Amino acid sequence: MQVTVLGSSSFFPSLRRSWTSLFLNLGGGDAVLVDAGSWRLMTFRADILHTNRVYITHNHPDHTGFIGALVRRMRRQNRTRPLTIFCPTDTVQRLHHFIRIFNHNKIPLFVQIHPFTPDIPRTIDHLSSSQTEVKAAAACHTTLTAAYAFCQGDKRIIISPDTGPRCPTLLTLARGANAWFHDCTFATGRLLSIRKGHSTPQNAGGDAARANVKALILIHISGLRLRNPRAIVAAARLHFNGEIYIAKDGMSFNF
Ligand SMILES: [Zn+2]
Ligand SMILES: [Zn+2]
């Protein structure tokens, strides 16, 4: 599977970093998105229109703001194939709002929204062409928030853009995974990060070590705060010995 970062920024973006979204090419014609905050959904290459699922982590605008733009592009191609959107229960209104803004105040018929309550890790979806099992678990954030795992055989990728550290349900979801795309909103400030439901690089490195994952990919980063990427990696390295990357918009990872 290939994961392409469409947006790697926290709520404070920069010209190079847009709000959160990741595009996953799962093989066998299955393509999915996690979150829809990135303005690149308006312009990114055409294969994004093959997306058959969107998994939304939570209702904050930096994760939902451009779902309407994506739906608009699909509508203009006369799409009839369903676009299935999974999201926490309290995110439906927000999605309706952003879809209506871009689509003449309507929700096109091909859009199907499946709300659920994230809790302990459980399977929420199965994509048969690519033999992918999708699991969700509750993240530790300021509102009802999901994290997702994409599992193919013994391969597992975890995506949790907004979470505080030491989140028990996430540590269970991530145990032994190949890679963890982990919140890295704050450069420093352990107490601030816990109070705000976000993480520092030290927090992310600690979680990666506790879950014994192979690679840690830091996302949901403030472009303004990222003056010294080496220091960010060094801070995560204090706890974690595996591979560490700082996600950038447009970057792809193959697993
Ligand atoms: Zn966010
Ligand atoms: Zn958030």
List pLDDT tens digits, range 67-89. 999 999 999 999 999 999 999 99
Q: What is the pLDDT of residues 150-191, one digit of tens each?
A: 999 999 999 999 999 999 999 999 999 999 999 999 877 665
pTM over 0.85: yes
How close is the Cα of 58 to the center of ligand 2, in Å?
7
**Residue 135 belongs to what domain range?**
2-254
Nearest ligand to the C-alpha atom of residue 7: 1
| pLDDT-derived band at 45, boundaries 50, 70, 90 | confident
Nearest ligand to the C-alpha atom of residue 10: 1
pLDDT at position 228: 82
Spell out the residues 6+ positions from residue 239 whose beta carbon is closer than 8 angstroms to its own: 202, 205, 206, 208, 209
Instruction: For residue 75, give the CATH number of its domain.
Output: 3.60.15.10
98-102, 131-135, 187-191, 207-211: least confident range? 187-191
d(CA 5, CA 249): 5
- At residue 192, does pLDDT exceed 70? no
Nearest ligand to the C-alpha atom of residue 220: 1
- At residue 212, does pLDDT exceed 90? yes
What the block records as the tokens of 246 is: 């700082």
The DSSP H or E segment spanning 71 is helix 67-76
How close is the Cα of 60 to the center of ligand 2, in Å?
5
**Total residue length of the chain:** 255
pLDDT at position 224: 63
Surrounding ion ligand 1 within 5 Å at CB are 62, 162
How close is the Cα of 194 to the center of ligand 1, in Å?
14
- At residue 225, does pLDDT exceed 80? no
| pLDDT-derived band at 123, boundaries 50, 70, 90 | very high
- At residue 194, does pLDDT exceed 80? no
Look over the chain and give the mean of its residue pLDDT values, rounded to a whole number.
94
What the block records as the tokens of 214 is: 């192979």
The structural domain count of the chain equals 1
- Report the percent of the chain where pLDDT is more than 90: 86
The DSSP H or E segment spanning 72 is helix 67-76
pLDDT at position 43: 87
pLDDT at position 193: 62
How close is the Cα of 148 to the center of ligand 1, in Å?
15
| pLDDT-derived band at 47, boundaries 50, 70, 90 | confident
Question: Residues 54, 26: contact at Cβ < 8 Å?
Answer: no
How close is the Cα of 11 to the center of ligand 1, in Å?
6
Surrounding ion ligand 2 within 5 Å at CB are 60, 162
How close is the Cα of 57 to the center of ligand 2, in Å?
8
pLDDT at position 250: 95
Residue 105's CB is within 10 A of a number of other CB atoms, namely 8
Sort strands 21-27 and 2-7 into parallel, antiparallel or unpaired: antiparallel
- At residue 227, does pLDDT exceed 90? no
How close is the Cα of 28 to the center of ligand 1, in Å?
30
> How large is the average pLDDT for residues 247-251?
95
